Amino acid sequence: MDTQIRHPMLVEANHDENVRQQFVHNLRLVLAKDISPLNHKIYEKKIKPAFIKEYKREPENRHEVRKVMTNDPFYRLYSATQRASQEMMWDSVIDSVEREYDNLHEKAAASPKTKKSSCEVTKDFKTPSYHTAADIHLQPGGYHWEKNENDISAGAVYDRSVFIYAIGGLGNLNDDLGRTLTNYFKEKYPNKSPKKILDMGCSVGHSTVPWVETFPEAEVHGIDCGAGMVKYAHARANYLDKPIHFSQQNAEKTNFENNSFDVVCSHIVLHETSTSAFKNILKECHRILKPGGIMLHLDVPNTDGMDPFTAFITDWEAYNNNETFLVKLRDMNWVSETVEAGFGHNKVQLNKSETYLAQKAIKNGDQPSFRTKFPILVAEK
């Protein structure tokens, strides 16, 4: 099992918790590498021919594939096991966090702060309904649950669980998506050196840290709806010696002034919002960007160029892991929504990028452990 880089905020698992976490990690590996590909074989050999026999044509889209695949016993067993692995993942990490609960706040309070780092939470913050309606990814209590005002357990649970969820594929600091976007930005805009950067929906700062590393002179901000997320992110970044200003804010309507950022970005956030929030966030990015500033949103794969089966299987998270808006977002026109939010139509692009770690492995002649192209919505104000 690959190891996650240790820092003082990362909860330490005891022997039994560690064995359980390793079991989930390995189960997810087998599901991804050995079991999931069998669904495609079954589709090609059994499900698609039966569909063609009945309708005299192939399934046209992922919704039609879904109707027939969800009746198949093998797919149902795969899907139930995948979901069980998700529930087991949270259980195995929550036990460690509960055991360390009292220490976490003390460790956070003792984290080395600088003038370039801060954390603000908002009293009576109104969590958007798309977070309270269902626990996204099945994380018990969601991103925002708090037992009291010192509670940072949601962040502690998230930090460790993401590593297991991604089977280590996001790197030992879970920072591959941040590295992918900073790398993309540097290649696309080699002459820009942003002075003020905002990461929306930063969670515990996994993707925010690479922005500080790439632009150490910049003032970097991270916002998130979850108070436990930003408080944990602040302590984590302090221990990693990466100064960042964190605050609990809704990306739909922030307290930042007009024209204040050179870069506003997000990493796998938009698909966990809603139709109106997606539109509001694009408008808010336009409002707070300086003229000439760049908006970048990296999100989970859309269906462009995907065959109906692949598009169906990549919808799994939406139907089984409470990422409900994903289904809708994949059918929306991201470019025209961005133009509607105020960006010039010739200033918006929807590109795709391999992840930083995959690019690195390919360059070294190695087989990437995880390979997918992420869409990146880019616009210049």
| Interface residue list for ligand SAM (CB under 6 A) | 128, 143, 177, 200-203, 206-207, 223-226, 229, 250-252, 267-269, 272-273, 277
Phi, psi of 348 (to 5 degrees): -120, 135
Work out how close the CB of 194 gets to ligand SAM at its nearest, in angstroms, rounded to a whole number.
18
Question: Tell me, what amino acid is at 150?
Answer: N
Q: How far is the CB of 34 from ligand SAM (least distance, A)?
A: 26
Q: Which residue has the tokens 């560690």?
A: 18
Shortest separation between residue 380's beta carbon and ligand SAM, angstroms: 22
CB-nearer residue toward ligand SAM: 85 or 322 = 322
Which residue lies nearest ligand SAM, judged by its C-beta?
Answer: 201
In whole angstroms, how close is the CB of 171 to ligand SAM at the nearest point? Answer: 11
DSSP string, 180-245: HHHHHHHHH-TT---SEEEEES-TTSTTHHHHHHH-TTSEEEEEES-HHHHHHHHHHHHHTT---E
Q: Closest approach of Cβ 266 to ligand SAM, in Å?
A: 6
> Pairing state of beta strands 348-354 and 245-248?
unpaired
Whole-number Å distance between alpha carbons of 295 and 159: 26
* Alpha helices by DSSP H, 100-125: 101-109
Closer by beta carbon to ligand SAM, 48 or else 231: 231
8 A C-beta contact, residue 58 and residue 52: yes
Least Cβ distance, residue 360 to ligand SAM (angstroms): 18
Angular region, 79: left φ>0, alpha ψ -120 to 50, beta rest: alpha
What number of CA atoms fall less than 13 Å from residue 68's CA on the CB side?
24
Minimum CB distance to ligand SAM smaller for 100 or for 284: 284
Round to whole Å and give the CA distance between 323 and 272: 6
What's the min distance (Å) between Cβ of 112 and ligand SAM? 22
Is residue 300 within 8 Å of residue 235, measured between CB atoms?
A: no
Nearer to ligand SAM, 68 or 230 (CB): 230
Q: Is 75 or 232 the residue whose CB approaches ligand SAM more closely? A: 232
> Which of 138, 268 has the CB closer to ligand SAM?
268
